[in-house]
């Protein structure tokens, strides 16, 4: 199996709302692009690095 980026432990925070942009920019694609123990998660406006919950 081909790894699509290191999956760090923890879960992404729950997203309460979505922004109104049609194609919000992603600040990251994989966990490995996030520093320390941050995870690349779907945020309210595209993907970004979040502290896992």
Tens-level pLDDT at each residue, the chain (53 residues): 555 556 899 999 999 999 999 999 999 999 999 999 999 999 999 999 999 99
pLDDT of res. 19: 93
Residue 25 neighbours by CB distance under 10 Å: 9
What CATH number does residue 48 fall under?
Answer: 4.10.75.10
pLDDT of res. 7: 86
Reduce the DSSP state of residue 41 to 3 states and report it.
Answer: strand
* Number of compact structural domains in the chain: 1
Helices (H), ranges, the chain: none
Structure tokens at 29: 């694609």
Distance CA(10)–CA(36), nearest Å, equals: 13
pLDDT of res. 15: 92
Pairing of strands 39-43, 46-50: antiparallel
- By residue range, what is the domain housing residue 43? 1-52
């Amino acid at each position: 199996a081909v790894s699509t980026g290191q999956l760090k432990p923890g879960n992404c925070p729950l997203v309460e709302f979505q922004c109104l942009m049609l194609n919000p920019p992603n600040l990251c694609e994989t966990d490995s692009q996030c520093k320390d123990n941050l995870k690349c998660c779907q945020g309210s406006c595209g993907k970004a690095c979040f502290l896992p919950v």
